[in-house]
Structure 1
């Protein structure tokens, strides 16, 4: 099967350019979260590969915390450049947790305005459009000041996007209050899903009476102001959800399903750790290893870690476990590395499992998932991780933590049959340092691992979806065509403006 047509940065630089050619510049504004910048960079590279008339400027608003991204891909080239806005610690201290992200983006509007003004004044680039992350829709105001169209980049599933539009329309047209669903056992008819959706898997923010729900649905309402919505998914994976989004009665902007958009290079500064992990995997039998990894922000308290350890040992399966220390309570920090795993693991665990398992900190996730020895993935079901797992044909045991991950888990388990459930409605407060009271027992975890590694039908479905994901992005595939449709739409809109 042909590999995805997302070239390394060096091939983008090599395109011939006329000395005085003015390119159409796309201003990308990603959210500063770890799950948003990488797919933004990959989408930008893909667009540049497809059309040399385009250039891209990615404006990065920096947090003082969170995963730091490799600077190797941030080379300034004639057609792709990055502009960092340094973190303003004084503003960070004033922003309340409830409205943190929206207030953070709002604060950066004047800085973005100045940067774009400088781009226009340079004369070498023609501002074609803004491409804003799903959480950065207030930047539509800045685009409007320059008379530029805006496209929204939705870095989660089509089913989730449909769910957001569904609840936004019910609020605005029927005065429906989604927060009343909190702590209920309701099952809901959501048109972007085939099956009824349990209220217990809805995103916590949608159920938040203290302003979170309003903020979330107000963001969704602004998606409608876009000229188009780019979604990181593909037709064979989410045909039902995409059909709903494209239905004319919704009166939505055009939706372009362009995925899976993945960072396959998976580079990290610490190559020695990566090499050690891959060397260990090389020594394991094909399809024998359970990989446990919970994303850049995933961590658990000590009691939960011990339950996980008991389950892993009892399962008897080979394992690679990415285990990270929770941040201090009420601090906006990402998980850190343990200096000594024995301080959190049960006594004797490392010794008992040394012949079949390996506990690590940071994990080169894509490299691990694509390794032949990996047969299952215990995952938080973040959308990037979900697409990586699908691309590699590795089935999932779903253990979501926060954001829309519970919805993703429901889609994987119930709608698609690509995952088994560990605890689909598990939720953690990211501000509590992994210290919430919800606990998953060793028995639940062990059962999930055993089913993950033995379900032949699910493994066959995963392999089939792997092939479909790769077919989508090559010439003749649905996502390849959708990228072309987006570029044509963009240029048509630009020519009319």
Structure 2
């Protein structure tokens, strides 16, 4: 008799930026004959499942997060629940499923490192998946050195504000922008710092550590953390498919609107599924887009300003720009960024957005807000040099005329655009047959079949 079909369980942190790349990996594995059970918390389960246009090869199950509905938007509550409640729920689910279909491997979001021990206790293989840049994992691995050298204290507070570069071709980051310190909440800051330190144990003992990045993008991270296997970018467009795992319904007419715009003319603006700007800065961005006098496609989520209410545009803005721009609640970003009319991406620099931009050769204006977005900004602006910094982190509002000027600089910089196109070609080569990410993914799939 032949070997039975391998059955793996996959668990993502319940935020869109984490779910989408792990779900992309799940679909690739399922297409190669691997049975996949994808675990969501109840909070996001229905939205993830409904994001599929047709039938999925991936099986979905949900587990409780232990939170009341009103608690899910309290800063730190979701993170705390994921770290404290989710591992026990996953452990129970593995036991339940094993009664009728043996799970051979647990592929888990690296940010939930305690799931490594859940896999070990269940007697199955474990794979840590990093949905962010490998540089974020390298930062976590260096926390002991940062403490020892007095860069941070044991609460994660910066003691030295000098820009830091952990190695050649690594991002240049001020310690005030370390991922744990950007949350602006001392309790949550300590929780994230402690979890990152604990997660280092799982990184050093997992069977695989795979990352949604590419070796050509992050050679320095590969040198500093050689245990990382690069398999990205995991994009639906690389599978010639539609993206799934979106938490919001995208505007169906955006692509038709882009078809009507001149080549390399549109400024695309999106701050992802969670980040956003304050009311005053929002108005300056609106005026900057208007005065840039270029077509713009602007994603403004209905919940872009929690606690403030519906975003308020400058007086007369919508009427004055109705023939210039299009404002939508959500967009099919991979298709937008691959459209020939798009000239520039104003972005919060989430890793998924960054990968989608560089994979399509679109220059960026970087406006990071929190977490790993400052690391990604440094890659874009300092290392790859395919974009410019726009946002600030000192509470000072960026005025509309500066926004207008930066848009003009990015759109008019031919050398920057040339580097962006070179990076696009590099990303395409790595993901195709014979490329490093493609071969790494093949090797990983072979290993799963042998588990």
Deviation of 1:231 after TM superposition, in Å, equals 0.5
- Between the aligned partners of 1:94 and 1:400, the Cα distance in structure 2 is 23
Deviation of 1:374 after TM superposition, in Å, equals 0.5
TM-score, normalised by the number of residues in structure 2: 0.87
Matched, 1:256 2:229: yes
Deviation of 1:206 after TM superposition, in Å, equals 7.3
Match of 1:281 in 2: 258
- Secondary structure in 2 matching 1:127: coil
Deviation of 1:417 after TM superposition, in Å, equals 0.5
Deviation of 1:326 after TM superposition, in Å, equals 4.4
- Secondary structure in 1 matching 2:62: strand
Report the CA distance shift for 1:93/1:309 in structure 2 as closer, same or farther (over 3 A).
closer
Q: How does 1:154-169 map to 2 (within 5 A)?
A: 154-169=130-145
- Between the aligned partners of 2:286 and 2:89, the Cα distance in structure 1 is 47
Deviation of 1:399 after TM superposition, in Å, equals 0.3
- Between the aligned partners of 2:386 and 2:17, the Cα distance in structure 1 is 21
Matched, 1:71 2:47: no
Per-residue CA deviation, residues 33-85 of structure 1 (Å, 9 max, x unaligned), is 01111111110122233x43x32111112337x993352539887x6311112
Matched, 1:109 2:87: yes
Matched, 1:147 2:123: yes
Deviation of 1:154 after TM superposition, in Å, equals 0.4
Higher mean C-alpha deviation, range 212-221 or range 316-325: 212-221
- Between the aligned partners of 2:448 and 2:112, the Cα distance in structure 1 is 19
- Between the aligned partners of 1:171 and 1:367, the Cα distance in structure 2 is 43
Deviation of 1:275 after TM superposition, in Å, equals 3.4
Q: How does 1:21-100 map to 2 (within 5 A)?
A: 22-49=4-31, 51-52=32-33, 54-63=34-43, 68-71=47-50, 73=52, 80-86=58-64, 88-90=66-68, 93=71, 97-98=75-76, 100=78
Report the CA distance shift for 1:192/1:33 in structure 2 as closer, same or farther (over 3 A).
farther
Deviation of 1:364 after TM superposition, in Å, equals 1.7
Report the CA distance shift for 1:94/1:43 in structure 2 as closer, same or farther (over 3 A).
closer
Contact 2:5 2:449 in 1 (8 A): no
Matched, 1:426 2:393: yes
- Between the aligned partners of 2:358 and 2:448, the Cα distance in structure 1 is 29
- Secondary structure in 2 matching 1:131: strand
Q: How does 1:208-219 map to 2 (within 5 A)?
A: 210=187, 211-212=190-191, 213-219=193-199
Deviation of 1:422 after TM superposition, in Å, equals 0.4
Higher mean C-alpha deviation, range 470-479 or range 375-384: 470-479
Contact 1:74 1:82 in 2 (8 A): no
- Between the aligned partners of 1:91 and 1:155, the Cα distance in structure 2 is 26
Contact 2:170 2:218 in 1 (8 A): no
- Secondary structure in 1 matching 2:90: helix
Aligned residues: 442
- Which residue of 481, 486, 490 corresponds with 2:439? 481
- Between the aligned partners of 2:416 and 2:406, the Cα distance in structure 1 is 13
Match of 1:397 in 2: 365
- Between the aligned partners of 2:254 and 2:349, the Cα distance in structure 1 is 22
- Which residue of 231, 237, 242 corresponds with 2:211? 231
Q: How does 1:189-204 map to 2 (within 5 A)?
A: 189-191=165-167, 193-194=169-170, 196-204=172-180
Report the CA distance shift for 1:196/1:396 in structure 2 as closer, same or farther (over 3 A).
closer
Match of 1:304 in 2: 281
- Between the aligned partners of 1:426 and 1:168, the Cα distance in structure 2 is 26
Match of 1:119 in 2: 97
Contact 1:23 1:126 in 2 (8 A): no
- Between the aligned partners of 1:67 and 1:192, the Cα distance in structure 2 is 43
Q: How does 1:405-444 map to 2 (within 5 A)?
A: 405-423=373-391, 425-426=392-393, 437-444=395-402
Matched, 1:291 2:262: no
Per-residue CA deviation, residues 309-360 of structure 1 (Å, 9 max, x unaligned), is 2211222222111123446757xxxx99x5xxxx711122222223322222
Report the CA distance shift for 1:403/1:192 in structure 2 as closer, same or farther (over 3 A).
farther
Match of 2:294 in 1: 317
- Between the aligned partners of 1:286 and 1:181, the Cα distance in structure 2 is 46
Report the CA distance shift for 1:426/1:142 in structure 2 as closer, same or farther (over 3 A).
same
Deviation of 1:236 after TM superposition, in Å, equals 1.6
Deviation of 1:95 after TM superposition, in Å, equals 10
Matched, 1:182 2:158: yes
Higher mean C-alpha deviation, range 283-292 or range 350-359: 350-359
Contact 2:169 2:218 in 1 (8 A): no
Aligned Cα root-mean-square deviation (Å): 3.2
- Which residue of 307, 315, 335 corresponds with 1:367? 335
- Secondary structure in 2 matching 1:46: helix
- Secondary structure in 2 matching 1:260: coil
Contact 1:74 1:81 in 2 (8 A): no
- Between the aligned partners of 2:147 and 2:201, the Cα distance in structure 1 is 10
Per-residue CA deviation, residues 148-168 of structure 1 (Å, 9 max, x unaligned), is 121110011122221221124
Match of 1:431 in 2: none
- Between the aligned partners of 2:361 and 2:426, the Cα distance in structure 1 is 10
